[in-house]
């Protein structure tokens, strides 16, 4: 029997579900939350297919170590910083800058982890962006004031 995590990943792989999720029910506009969740599910499915959720010795399913997965996300961000600092091309995709490939790697790892944990990453991103748009400390006047956020 599939776990809830497997059910979520399988649901997103269904073409009819994917198409329906990408459109808002009321006005047929793009559904950014669904698109992000589909991306995350694709990342997770690719990780499962590559065997990252299977013990290579026994072939049995693995429970992933979430702190380790978070550190791997951090390592991709650190690699992006190094690529940016040195203005390097990527070593695997040399037609691209290292920063963009490492940011892509971070997003892939984030998507994998979010789906593994059953998170509504897309919904959280859409809600957080809407919340940030209302924050006084995120407005230009507040940022220019003494003690305002510089970054």
Tell how many helices (H) and how many strands (E) occur in the chain: 7, 0
Q: Whole-prediction pTM value?
A: 0.81
What does the pLDDT read at residue 2? 39
Q: Can you tell me the distance from the alpha carbon of 87 to that of 98, in angstroms, rounded to the nearest whole number?
A: 8
Q: In the predicted model, what is the mean pLDDT of residues 9-28? A: 62
What does the pLDDT read at residue 11? 60
DSSP-derived secondary structure for 37-72: HHHHHHHHHHHHHTTTTB-TTT--B----HHHHHHH
Among 98, 73, 72, 74, residue whose Cα is nearest residue 85: 98
What are the pLDDT digits (tens) for 28-72? 666 889 889 999 999 999 999 999 999 999 999 999 999 999 999
Among 48, 43, 46, 41, residue whose Cα is nearest residue 15: 41
What does the pLDDT read at residue 80? 98
Q: How confident is the model at residue 121 (pLDDT cuts 50, 70, 90)?
A: very high
What are the pLDDT digits (tens) for 82-119? 999 999 999 999 999 999 999 999 999 999 999 999 99
Ordered by start, the domain boundaries in the chain are: 4-121
Tell me: pLDDT of 140 over 50. Answer: yes
């Amino acid at each position: 029997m599939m776990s809830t995590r497997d059910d979520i990943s399988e649901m997103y792989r269904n073409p009819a579900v994917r198409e329906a999720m990408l459109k808002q029910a009321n006005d047929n506009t793009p559904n950014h939350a669904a698109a992000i969740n589909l991306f995350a599910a694709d990342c997770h499915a690719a990780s499962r297919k590559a065997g990252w959720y299977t013990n290579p010795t026994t072939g049995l399913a693995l429970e992933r170590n979430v702190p380790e997965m978070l550190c791997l996300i951090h390592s991709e961000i650190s690699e992006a910083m190094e690529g940016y600092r040195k203005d390097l091309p990527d070593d695997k995709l040399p037609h691209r800058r290292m920063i963009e490939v490492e940011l892509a790697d971070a997003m892939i790892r984030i998507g994998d982890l979010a789906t593994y944990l059953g998170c509504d990453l897309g919904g959280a991103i859409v809600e957080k962006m809407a919340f940030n748009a209302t924050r006084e400390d995120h407005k230009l006047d507040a940022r220019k004031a003494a003690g305002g956020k510089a970054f």
